[in-house]
Amino acid sequence: MKQLLLELAPRPEPTLDNYVAGRNGAALAALRALADAPEAGAVVYLYGETGAGKSHLVHAVAEAWRRRGRPPAHFLAVDDAHRLDEAAQGALFDAFNEARAAGGAILAAGDSRPRELRVREDLRTRLASGLAFQLHPLSDEEKATALRQRAGELGMRLPDEVIAYLLTHLRRDMPTLIAVLEAIDRYSLTAKRPVTLPLIREALQALNGGAR
């Protein structure tokens, strides 16, 4: 019988501190300023491939604003801007103008550069009026650091050969790697066995014949 798991620790929230920046140091610095002491009317736009960390950062900044009691109507955090339908674009356009007039700040993320973002032109140019950062994927070493860090947050012992295994057998985007790491953590807790290579092979097989 499988042991039921109590979720002892809640999943760690995405924060700016637990974001492994890699080549994205400039973006992180700008976002820290945006989270802590945004200039009135500041606009920051993030773009990059899936898995580069856009959602992590948007949530982290939104949460920082919430904690500081900044009104959500004037501090807008928008993920996946390229997916907004017509009505949502209209709403964002209005909200954008209001937020700027009220001295708020806007953070948005999308899948392409501001000049190629497929939204209404008046909205697009507004999103392009501030700082724009491409988020670059992490290198393998940085991914290993990020995995170690997440394992630490989960209270999980993660041997180096296991990290090497994950990086050579799985898709190497961070969402995949983190999801698999968390699944392995649960698997090892349920099986009451330490995280080792044999356990990982077994876990990956259990996870629908490998998560690659």
Which one of residues 137, 144, 156, 188 is an interface residue with another protein (CB under 8 A)? Answer: 137
Site for another protein contains 145 (CB under 8 A): no
In the complex with another protein, which residue's Cβ is closer, 21 or 58? 21
Annotate the chain with three-state secondary structure: CCCCCCCCCCCCCCCCCCCCCCCCHHHHHHHHHHHHCCCCCEEEEEECCCCCCHHHHHHHHHHHHHHCCCCCCCEEEECCHHHCCHHHHHHHHHHHHHHHHCCCEEEEEECCCHHHCCCCHHHHHHHCCCEEEECCCCCHHHHHHHHHHHHHHHCCCCCHHHHHHHHHHCCCCHHHHHHHHHHHHHHHHHHCCCCCHHHHHHHHHHCCCCCC
Stretches 64-72, 145-153, 169-177, 191-199: which one binds another protein (CB under 8 A)?
Answer: 169-177
Which one of residues 54, 56, 74, 126 is an interface residue with another protein (CB under 8 A)? Answer: 126
Which one of residues 5, 11, 12, 49 is an interface residue with another protein (CB under 8 A)? Answer: 49
Which one of residues 15, 18, 129, 145 is an interface residue with another protein (CB under 8 A)? Answer: 129
Site for another protein contains 173 (CB under 8 A): yes
Site for another protein contains 190 (CB under 8 A): no
Alpha-carbon gap, residue 92 to 72, rounded angstroms = 13
In the complex with another protein, which residue's Cβ is closer, 115 or 192? 115
Over the window 8 to 47, marking each residue x when it contacts another protein by CB under 8 A and - when it does not, the resulting string is -----------------xx--xx------------x----
Residue 30: which of 65, 61, 70 has the closest Cα? 61
Least distance between another protein and beta carbon 10 (Å): 28
The binding site for another protein (CB under 8 A) comprises: 25-26, 29-30, 43, 49, 51, 90, 93-94, 97, 100-101, 112-116, 121-122, 125-126, 128-134, 137, 168-173, 176, 212
